[in-house]
Amino acid sequence: MLPVPENCFVPISEIISVEETELNKKQRNIGKWQKMTKLHAFTVYYVKKARNHRWRCSDVTFWCVDEHLCNQWIQALKELLEMQKSRPKQLLVYINPYGGKRQGKRIYEQKVAPLFSLASISTDVVITEHANHAKDNLFEVNIYKYDGVVCVGGDGMFSEVMHGLIGRIQKDSGIDQNNPKASLVQCNIRIGIIPAGSTDCICYSTVGISDPVTSALHIIVGDCQPLDVSSVHHNNMFLKYSVSLLGYGFYGDILKDSEKKRWMGPMRYDYSGFKTFLSHHYYEGTIAYQPAKHTLGSPRDKDSCRTGCYICKKSEQQLAEQHKDCGLKHEEGEEEWKVIKGKFLAINAVNMSCACPRSPKGLSPAAHLADGSADLILVRKCSRFDFLRYLVRHTNQDDQFDFPFVDVYRVKSFQFTSKLSEDNESNVMDIGKKRFGQFCRDHPACCCNIVNSTWNCDGETLDSSAIEVRVHCQLMKLFARGIEENCKDEAAYSQNSAEQLL
Ligand SMILES: CCCCCCCCCCCCC/C=C/[C@@H](O)[C@H](CO)NC(=O)CCCCCCCCCCCCCCC
Ligand SMILES: Nc1ncnc2c1ncn2[C@@H]1O[C@H](COP(=O)(O)OP(=O)(O)OP(=O)(O)O)[C@@H](O)[C@H]1O
Ligand SMILES: [Ca+2]
């Protein structure tokens, strides 16, 4: 630990870099000392923790009359930093110049690149030219020479990079992603997210804030946060992976409408959200799910997943044991399935809380980042007013699951079939219904929708409404540490950059 002014201690793991200080830069501040003798100095750049999980780079300069002693300090601190083996040295960076408010390139160049250079991290930077550029590129480059991949953009950009990395690892390991029962190979190359998107839910839910400098610092110090990933299949065909929201009904309809309004930037979600709220469509279907019995928590818990979460640790241990005796692994297919039929305004499956600036506690506040389960939230048909009450509770402290029309289950896998595709499959589809388009012919004002909704998979639409979903515990890792418990003594962190005499 290194003492900095006013009883503030910085763990070595949170030092960014140590550099010899050029005297002419700081001379003015120490004129008095300089008259007496020639001084030597070094500067320690470190993580300063501010309010609301925000991190900043701060520095403290140590002055010394003895050049040898000064060099010894620099050497010793550099050696300690060298010993931090989890820190990345070489990163592959993808920037989406069109995500969010189209600020990705500027954010990276002005806020992130200077910090990477300060921390002696070398980078290969790719500015994407089209959708799927990053994903395709990850199948071509030598990913194994990098300590991590950074994406500058939103949840969609993260999803691309994740698909590229997970897909590449499965390909290199001879695993067929189309097999819904395949044991996928864990991806140990960490992904860093520099938020520059419209929702930035994955960044917010894993760091506690959507802030490019904070995320860059988590990458520099080499944080590691495992993450559950759901695989989504349709008829033995791989569709997509999901880490945040898989939403049918409300969030699917918002996404579908908002894609046409990309030019509006992040505002498109509010516009389409309002429109979708007014349309108040519900969808009929059947959900079958397997409860997650292995995990200790429940979606109604008061405590949330935080840094070093013991529930996620327990799942990690179980996973390690499973890998040890994989021959004896219990067959998932044999475990019980529960079936629910109904009319739903929204079906949301979340692998994490899905906290974001719009909803700081998220869609499921007690969901865990790495426990091998997802929270399945079913919002049944209800009045517009009740649905609004439900939505408003995402923005305040009230319990959004405390409604008779909302159910929530912790699951390890689930399947969904819409009534429409069930009818189609059993060939009882009325041709007349097809012709008369979108609304129920019998009850034009009832809001029941005879077309399917769309699945919103981490901000991307899926082509199929019938899906099979399975949660893969800790399939990948992020440069993050989960959300830290609020520091009580925040005043101790409010010290500005300082200077210190040895
Ligand atoms: C009255 C205010 C209620 C506000 C309720 C806010 C709840 C917001 C919950 C957000 C959950 C985001 C989950 C993350 C999803 C990401 O993988 C994905 C990709 O980035 N983003 C979206 O799909 C983008 C989803 C964007 C959702 C925006 C929802 C806006 C709803 C507005 C409803 C207005 C009703 C007003 C009635 C007077
Ligand atoms: N150069 C590019 N041109 C067009 N589309 C791109 C380009 N690079 C990436 N994309 C695509 O843009 C989509 C959206 O990007 P991104 O997630 O960064 O921003 P967003 O949609 O505004 O934010 P969020 O996903 O957080 O809501 C991604 O799915 C990605 O595939
Ligand atoms: Ca989870």
Determine if ligand 2 sits within 6 Å of the CB of residue 197.
yes
For residues 293, 299, 303 and 307, what is the CA-based torsion angle, rounded to 10 degrees? 70
What's the DSSP call for residue 400? T
CA 5–ligand 3 middle distance (angstroms): 40
The answer to whether 192 and 182 have CB atoms below 8 angstroms apart is: no
Q: Where are the alpha helices (DSSP H) in 221-309?
A: 250-259, 268-279
Instruction: Tell me the pLDDT band of 435, cut-offs 50, 70 and 90.
Output: very low
pLDDT at position 268 over 90: yes
Instruction: Tell me the pLDDT band of 492, cut-offs 50, 70 and 90.
Output: very low
pLDDT at position 248 over 80: yes
CA 419–ligand 2 middle distance (angstroms): 32
Helix axes 250-259, 268-279, angle to 10 degrees: 130
160, 162, 201, best to mutate for ligand 1 pocket (most atoms within 8 Å of CB): 201
CA 363–ligand 1 middle distance (angstroms): 9
The 10 Å CB-count burial string (b at 16+, else e) for 348-381 is bbbbbbbbbebbbbbbbbbbbbbbbbbbbbbbbb
Exactly one of 59, 124, 147, 155 is catalytic; name it: 155
Question: pTM of the prediction?
Answer: 0.91
Position 496 scores a pLDDT of 39
The Cα 405–Cα 427 span in angstroms is 31
The Cα 278–Cα 264 span in angstroms is 20
Structural tokens at position 429? 């589809």
- The tokens 């040895």 sit on which residue? 502
CA 205–ligand 1 middle distance (angstroms): 15
The answer to whether 143 and 92 have CB atoms below 8 angstroms apart is: yes
pLDDT at position 412 over 80: yes
Comparing 312-321, 348-357, 406-415, the range with the smallest average pLDDT is 312-321
Query: Mean of the pLDDT values across residues 381-390?
Result: 98
Q: pLDDT tens digits, residue range 20-39? A: 998 765 555 555 555 556 78
Residue 416, C-beta contacts closer than 8 angstroms, at least 6 positions apart: 248, 285, 286, 287, 347, 465, 466, 467, 469
Determine if ligand 2 sits within 6 Å of the CB of residue 28.
no
CA 305–ligand 3 middle distance (angstroms): 9
The answer to whether 59 and 49 have CB atoms below 8 angstroms apart is: no
Determine if ligand 2 sits within 6 Å of the CB of residue 128.
yes
With CA atoms as reference, report the closest residue to 255 among 268, 264, 239: 268
96, 204, 230, 251, best to mutate for ligand 1 pocket (most atoms within 8 Å of CB): 251
Nearest ligand atom owner, CA of 134: 2
Determine if ligand 2 sits within 6 Å of the CB of residue 463.
no
Q: Who lines ligand 1 at CB under 6 A?
A: 154-155, 199, 201, 244-245, 251, 254-255, 269-270, 273-274, 277, 354, 356, 358-359, 363, 388, 391-392, 394-395, 456, 458-459
Q: pLDDT tens digits, residue range 136-192? A: 999 999 999 999 999 999 999 999 999 999 999 999 999 999 999 999 999 999 999
Instruction: Give the side-chain half-sphere CA count within 13 A for 90.
Output: 6
Query: Mean of the pLDDT values across residues 259-267?
Result: 91
CA 249–ligand 3 middle distance (angstroms): 22
Residue at 501: amino acid letter: L
- Structural domains of the chain in order of their starting residue, each with its CATH number: 12-22+39-83 (no CATH), 231-319+335-425+449-479 (2.60.200.40)
Q: pLDDT tens digits, residue range 84-107? A: 999 999 999 999 999 888 999 999
Which atom of ligand 1 has the smallest separation from the CA of 270? 30
Active site residue 172: no
What's the DSSP call for residue 3? E
157, 159, 356, best to mutate for ligand 2 pocket (most atoms within 8 Å of CB): 157
Nearest ligand atom owner, CA of 304: 3
CA 352–ligand 2 middle distance (angstroms): 21
Determine if ligand 2 sits within 6 Å of the CB of residue 157.
yes
Helix axes 268-279, 384-392, angle to 10 degrees: 150
Query: Mean of the pLDDT values across residues 308-326?
Result: 87
Instruction: Tell me the pLDDT band of 491, cut-offs 50, 70 and 90.
Output: very low
Class of residue 278 by CB neighbours under 10 A (exposed 0-12, middle 13-18, buried 19+): exposed
Query: Mean of the pLDDT values across residues 349-363?
Result: 97
Class of residue 163 by CB neighbours under 10 A (exposed 0-12, middle 13-18, buried 19+): buried
Position 472 scores a pLDDT of 97
List the residue whose alpha carbon is closest to atom 14 of ligand 2: 156
Residue 245, C-beta contacts closer than 8 angstroms, at least 6 positions apart: 201, 251, 348, 349, 350, 354, 363, 456, 457, 458, 459
Q: pLDDT tens digits, residue range 442-461? A: 444 555 566 899 999 999 99
Q: Where are the alpha helices (DSSP H) in 195-249?
A: 201-207, 212-220
Nearest ligand atom owner, CA of 242: 1
Angle of CA points 461, 466, 470, to nearest 5°: 85
